[in-house]
Amino acid sequence: MQWEIVIGLETHAQLNTHSKIFSGAATAYGAAPNTQACAVDIALPGVLPVFNRAAAEKAVKFGLAIGARINRRSVFERKNYFYPDLPKGYQTTQLELPIVAEGGTLQIQVTPSTGSGQAYEKTIRITRAHLEEDAGKSLHEDFHGMTGIDLNRAGTPLVEIVTEPDLRSSAEAVAYAKKLHSLVRWIGICDGNMQEGSFRCDANVSVRPMGVETLGTRCEIKNLNSFKFMEKAIEYEVRRQIEILEDGGRIIQETRLYDPDRDETRSMRSKEEANDYRYFPDPDLLPLVVDEAFLDQARATMPELPQAMRERFVRDQGLPAYDAGILTTSRELAGYFEDTVKALGGEAKMATNWIMGDLSAQLNKEGLEITNSPITAGKLAGLLQRIVDGTISGKIAKEVFSAMWAGEGDADTIIEAKGLKQVSDSGAIEKIVDEIIAANPAQVAEYRSGKEKVFGFFVGLAMKASKGKANPAQLNEILKKKLAG
Amino acid sequence: MFNTSLKELSAQLASKKISSVELTQTFLDRIRELNPRLNAFITIDENKSLAQAKTADALIASGKAGPLTGIPVAQKDIFCAEGWLSTCGSKMLHNFVSPYDAHVIEQFNRAGAINLGKTNMDEFAMGSSNETSYFGKVKNPWDLNAVPGGSSGGSAAAVAARLCPAATGTDTGGSIRQPAALNGITGIKPTYGVVSRYGMIAFASSLDQGGPMAKSAEDCALLLNVMAGFDSRDSTSLEREKEDYGRDLEQPLKGLRIGLPKEYFAEGLSADVAQAIEAALAEYRKLGAETVEISLPNSKLAVPVYYVLAPAEASSNLARFDGVRYGYRAPEYTDLADMYGKSRAQGFGAEVKRRIMIGTYVLSAGYYDAYYLKAQKLRRLIAQDFTNAFAQCDMIMGPTAPTTAFNLGEKSDDPVSMYLSDIYTIAVNLAGLPGMSVPAGFGANGRPVGLQIIGNYFSEAKMLNVAHQFQKATDWHTRMPQGI
Amino acid sequence: MSLNLADVKRIAHLARIAVEEDEMPGYLQQLSNILNLVEEMQAVDTTGIEPMAHAQDVVLRLRNDVATETDRRAAYQAVAPQVEAGLYLVPKVIE
SS3 assignment, position A14: strand
Domain that holds residue B73: 6-253
From A43's Cα to the closest Cα of chain C, the distance in A is: 11
Predicted pLDDT of residue A344: 92
- pLDDT over 80 at A425, yes or no: no
Q: Contact C79/B99, CB-based, under 8 Å?
A: yes
Please name the residues in contact with B484: beta carbons below 8 A apart, sequence gap of 6 or more.
Answer: B34, B37, B38, B141, B144, B161
CATH number at residue B185: 3.90.1300.10
Examine the domain organization and report whether B247 and B366 are in the same domain.
Answer: no
CA dist., res. A49 & res. B330, Å (int): 29
C-beta atoms of C60 and A146 within 8 A: no
Give the CA radius of gyration of chain A.
30
- Residues of B within 8 A of A284 (CB-CB) are 202, 205, 235-236
Looking at the structure, do residues B241 and B367 belong to the same domain, yes or no? no
Most confident range, picked from A142-146, A476-480, B62-66, B391-395: B391-395
Q: How confident is the model over A205-217, as a mean pLDDT?
A: 94
- Name subunits touching C (3+ CB pairs < 8 A): A, B
Identify the pLDDT of residue B417: 87
Q: Is the pLDDT of residue B457 over 90?
A: yes
> What is the maximal distance between C-alpha atoms in chain A?
101
- pLDDT, residue A25, reads 98
Give a yes or no: residue B387 inside a domain.
no
Rounded Cα distance between B319 and B315, Å, is 6
* Nearest Cβ partner for C87 among A23, A139, A257: A139
Residue B168 forms part of a structural domain: yes
| Residues in chain B within 8 Å Cβ distance of C76 | 99, 325-326
Task: Return the higher-pLDDT residue of B315 and A114.
Answer: B315
**pLDDT band, residue A269 (cuts 50/70/90):** low
Query: What number is the average pLDDT over the span B100-126?
Result: 98
Residue B476 resides in a domain: no
Spatial CB neighbours of B352, under 8 Å, sequence gap ≥ 6 = B90, B123, B124, B126, B132, B314, B318
Residue C1 — pLDDT band, cuts 50, 70, 90?
low
Question: Does the residue B413 lie in any domain?
Answer: no
Residue A467 has pLDDT above 90, yes or no: no
Question: Which pLDDT belongs to residue A294?
Answer: 96
Among the listed residues B51, B132, B42, the one whose alpha carbon sits nearest the alpha carbon of residue B96 = B42
Residues of B with CB under 8 A from a CB of A: 79-80, 86, 88, 93, 96, 98-100, 102, 197-202, 204-206, 232-236, 312-313, 315-316, 318-322, 324-327, 336, 340, 360, 363-365, 368, 372
Cβ neighbours, 10 Å, residue A482 = 15
> Could you tell me which of B221, B284, B283, B227 has the C-alpha nearest to residue B462?
B221
Of the partner residues B336, B337, B377, the one whose CB lies closest to the CB of residue C51: B377
Query: CB–CB of B382/B292 below 8 Å?
Result: no
CB nearest C62 (choices: A56, A84, A143): A56
Mean pLDDT of A115-137: 92
Last residue of a domain, one of B318, B351, B376: B376
User: Do the Cβ atoms of C15 and B315 come within 8 Å?
Assistant: yes
Percentage of residues in chain B having pLDDT higher than 90: 96
The answer to whether residue B401 sits within a structural domain is no
pLDDT of C36: 95
Chain A positions in Cβ-Cβ contact with residue B325 (cut-off 8 Å)? 42-44, 87
Note whether A30 and A153 are within 8 A (CB): no
Residue A272, pLDDT > 60, answer no
Residue with more model confidence, B318 or A431: B318
- pLDDT for A315 equals 96
Residues of A with CB under 8 A from a CB of B: 39, 42-51, 78, 80, 82, 84, 87-90, 147, 149, 276, 278-280, 283-286
* Alpha-carbon gap, residue C77 to C94, rounded angstroms: 24
Judged against a pLDDT cut of 60, whether residue A270 lies above it is answered with no
- Closest chain A residue to C79 measured between Cα atoms? A44
Average pLDDT (A138-166) is 93
Pairing of strands B435-442, B448-455: antiparallel
Contact B80 A44 (CB under 8 A): yes
Residue B452 counted as domain residue: no
- Per the CB < 8 A criterion, the answer to whether A367 and A342 are in contact is no
CB-CB contact of A97 with A71 (8 Å): yes
pLDDT of residue B264 exceeding 80, the answer is yes
H helices present in C1-95, as ranges: 5-14, 24-38, 73-77
Residues in contact with B414: Cβ distance below 8 Å, sequence separation at least 6, in sequence order? none
In chain C, how long is the greatest CA-to-CA distance?
58
Contacts by A164-167 with C-beta closer than 8 Å and gap 24+? Answer: A164/A8, A164/A124, A164/A125, A164/A126, A164/A127, A165/A6, A165/A7, A165/A8, A165/A204, A165/A206, A165/A215, A166/A8, A166/A122, A166/A123, A166/A124, A166/A125, A167/A6, A167/A7, A167/A8, A167/A9, A167/A124
pLDDT band at A373 (very low <50, low <70, confident <90, very high): very high
Backbone angles phi, psi at B405, to 5 degrees: -55, 130
| Chains sharing 3 or more CB pairs under 8 A with chain B | A, C
Cβ within 8 Å, pair B320-A43: yes
Q: Give the contacts of A445 (CB within 8 A, at least 6 positions apart).
A: none
The dihedral formed by the CA atoms of C27, C32, C35 and C40, expressed in degrees to the nearest 10: -160
| pLDDT at res. A454 | 86
3-state secondary structure of B143: strand
Orientation angle between helical segments A377-388 and A394-405, nearest 10 degrees: 160
Report helix, strand or coil for A80. strand
Residue B416, domain member (yes or no): no
pLDDT digits (tens, 9 = 90+) for B404-438: 999 999 998 888 888 988 999 999 999 999 999 99
pLDDT score recorded for residue A418: 84
* Residue among B325, B326, B365 minimizing CB distance to A276: B365
Amino acid A474: pLDDT: 83
**Count H helices, E strands: chain A?**
16, 15
Q: State whether C14 and A27 contact (CB < 8 Å).
A: no
Q: Identify the pLDDT of residue A273.
A: 57
What pLDDT is attached to residue A214? 94
Total structural domains within chain B? 2
Q: Checking phi first, is residue A161 left (phi over 0); if not, alpha (psi -120 to 50) or beta? A: beta
ipTM score over 0.95, yes or no: yes
Task: Write down how long chain B is.
Answer: 484
Task: Give the pLDDT mean for A431-447.
Answer: 87
Give yes or no: residues B195 and B94 share one domain: yes
The chain B residue lying nearest A91, using CA atoms, is B316
Q: How far is B373 from chain C (nearest CA, A)?
A: 7
Chain A residues close to B235, C-beta within 8 Å: 48-51, 284-286
Q: Per-domain residue ranges for chain A?
A: 3-296, 304-418, 426-483
Indicate the range of A131-135, A315-319, A449-453, B440-444 predicted with least confidence: A449-453
Domain A426-483 has CATH 1.10.10.10: no
pLDDT at A271 over 70: no
H/E element holding B74?
strand B72-76
Most confident option among A341-345, A361-365, B449-453: B449-453
From B196, B222, B253, the end of a domain falls on B253
More confident residue, A417 or A158: A158
One-letter identity of residue A420: L
Distance between CA C42 and CA B358 in Å, rounded? 17
Please compute the mean of the pLDDT values over residues A168-179 and round it to a whole number. 96
pTM: 0.92
pLDDT of residue A116: 64
Amino acid at B479: R
Q: Sort out which chain B residues have CB atoms less than 8 A from C92's CB and list them.
A: 335-336
Same domain, B85 and B148: yes
pLDDT at C43: 94
Does residue B266 fall inside a structural domain?
A: no
> Of C44, C51, C79, which has the smallest distance from its Cβ to B373's Cβ?
C51
**In the predicted model, is pLDDT for residue A452 greater than 90?**
no
Instruction: With beta carbons under 8 A apart, name residues in chain C contacting B357.
Output: 8, 11-12, 15, 17, 27, 31
pLDDT band at A72 (very low <50, low <70, confident <90, very high): very high
The answer to whether residues B163 and B243 belong to one domain is yes
DSSP state at residue B191: P
Question: Do residues B76 and B131 both lie within one domain?
Answer: yes
Is the domain of B74 the same as that of B130? yes
Burial B335-345 (b: 16+ CB within 10 A, else e): ebbebbbbbbb
User: Any idea which residues of B carry the catalytic annotation?
Assistant: 76, 151, 175
Cα A413 from chain centroid?
35
